[in-house]
């Protein structure tokens, strides 16, 4: 299992950028797999939960929601945070994609019912512009290979 805390410890600067993007208030979308294997996308909110021994990327699903059923049946997911302002073609701080497996944590605690999940990370990908803003940059991190980067025109 690779937690968000593991990612943060391995690549603190990259993790800080990823956290800013996740927490900037732009709608997030999660992709799950339906029973027939076809993709499903749903809106979602995430939190960085540090209430336990480490930091976890956590999210929930309302009672009876298909998203939660999908994740309990097949835990693979992909999460996407789009660029903050796409109206003028500006990527701003870029976009973020997180892939992994959702680990069921039991029922949500607090006033809202549902299922709680935490992420077992397999990949974190950032896409944005270089400092000169003339090349596309893709940076990605995996637990096995670490941080890699490529620039494209």
Domains of the chain, start order: 4-152 (2.30.110.10)
Contact 102, 71 (CB under 8 A): yes
**Angle subtended at Cα 82 by Cα 29 and Cα 47, rounded to the nearest 5 degrees:** 55
Contact 135, 151 (CB under 8 A): yes
Output the pTM of the full model.
0.91
One digit per residue, pLDDT tens: the chain, 153 residues?
999 999 999 999 999 999 999 998 778 999 999 999 999 999 999 999 998 788 999 999 998 899 999 999 999 999 999 886 655 555 678 999 999 999 999 888 778 889 999 999 999 999 998 989 899 999 999 999 999 999 998
- 31-55 burial, b for 16+ CB within 10 Å, e for fewer? bbbeeeeeeeebebebebbeeeeeb
């Amino acid at each position: 299992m690779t937690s968000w805390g593991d990612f943060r410890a391995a690549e603190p600067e990259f993790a800080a950028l990823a956290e800013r993007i996740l927490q900037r208030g732009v709608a997030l979308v999660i992709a799950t797999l339906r029973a027939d294997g076809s993709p499903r996308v749903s809106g979602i909110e995430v939190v960085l939960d540090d209430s336990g021994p480490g930091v976890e990327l956590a999210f929930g699903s309302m009672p009876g929601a298909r998203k939660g059923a999908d994740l309990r049946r097949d835990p693979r997911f992909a999460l996407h945070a789009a660029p903050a302002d796409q109206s003028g073609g500006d990527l701003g701080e870029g976009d973020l994609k997180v892939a992994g497996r959702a680990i069921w944590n039991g029922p949500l605690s607090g006033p809202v019912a549902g299922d709680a999940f935490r992420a077992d990370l397999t990949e974190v990908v950032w896409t944005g512009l270089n400092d000169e803003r003339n090349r596309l940059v893709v940076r990605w991190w995996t637990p096995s290979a670490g941080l890699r980067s490529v620039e494209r025109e």
